[in-house]
Amino acid sequence: MRRLENKIVFITGGNSGIGKAASLEAAREGATIVVADLPKSNYEQTMNEIAALGAKCLFVPIDVSDVNSVKQAINSTVEKFGRLDVAFNNAGIGGVHSGIHDMDEEIWDRLIAVNLTGQFYCVKYELQQFLKQGGGVIVNMSSLGGIKAERGLVPYTVAKHGVMGLTQNIAVQYAAQNIRANAICPYFVDTPLLKAAPPELRQAWIDGTPSKRLARPEEVAKAFLFFASDDSSYCNGTQLILDGGVMA
Ligand SMILES: NC(=O)c1ccc[n+]([C@@H]2O[C@H](COP(=O)([O-])OP(=O)(O)OC[C@H]3O[C@@H](n4cnc5c(N)ncnc54)[C@H](O)[C@@H]3O)[C@@H](O)[C@H]2O)c1
């Protein structure tokens, strides 16, 4: 029996990087995949790759920073498939290096809107559906920056710390309703999110990691699969760190 057989899995940011790797991993494990990503995404390639694995899939447009768009995307999922079993709240944008004393307020607001408030909007409407149907699983994308400071990435790390708080609150408030929520905390992962980073900064991240390389999106997708499936049935409000040894 595959680990997500017949599960309806909703993945924000499912068209790129970690979200795409998770979409393909879930497809291999028997799930039906809802790829939720920005309206202008070129999603055909991802949908073709999912379909080639024999899985059903649907693209729904979403901007996680817009509450109505989030509500609509979750409604469309439930209208199409009748329920929602697993939600991977993964969509996010990268940080900009800055001091706190000279932080640009607009950059702060946008980071918090997408990476933290967007997670709250998704969780709110996912929980409403889970309460109606008698349970569900949430996997929230945090970061190693949700556990410790990453020098200069201020609103990014603040948002990711907030995701940890959100995840723990879901666990304590909804465990009795058969709802679990856990968070994934990777260090730097080789995805399009890092494409704006100068080569010397990228090299510094690699040099500062005992494993001497970035994580691959497929490695993070395995952590998603663990939390999404019954393999983690007694994990709630906790996190999995993928950091190549940094915290050690
Ligand atoms: N790459 C890393 O080093 C790294 C490390 C730790 C955590 N993360 C987190 O992993 C998640 C996925 O990042 P990735 O590295 O795969 O990046 P990515 O850029 O490859 O993918 C991000 C996806 O999110 C989507 N997205 C962006 N803003 C959105 C919005 N407002 N509404 C809906 N979708 C939106 C993008 O279209 C894209 O498909 C992010 O939350 C990121 O913070 C990444």
Residue 248 resides in a domain: no
Whether residue 174 contacts residue 127, with contact meaning beta carbons closer than 8 Å, is answered with yes
22 Cβ closer than 6 Å to some ligand 1 atom: no
In angstroms, the CA 159 to CA 107 distance is 12
Are 27 and 57 a contacting pair, CB within 8 Å?
yes
Question: Number of folded domains in the chain?
Answer: 1
Is 234 an annotated catalytic residue? no
Q: What is the pLDDT of residues 181-219, one digit of tens each?
A: 999 999 999 999 999 899 999 999 999 999 999 999 999
Please report, for the domain that includes residue 215, its CATH number.
3.40.50.720
Q: Ligand 1, atom 5: nearest CA belongs to which residue? A: 188
Query: Out of 43, 125, 156, 187, which one is annotated catalytic?
Result: 156
> What phi, psi does 133 have (nearest 5°)?
-100, -5
Backbone CA torsion sign across 110, 113, 119, 121? negative
- For position 63, what pLDDT does the model report? 98
Domain assignment present for residue 163? The answer is yes
Provide the pLDDT for residue 146. 98
Domain that holds residue 132: 8-242
pLDDT score for 41: 86
Does the beta carbon of 67 sit less than 6 angstroms from any atom of ligand 1?
A: no
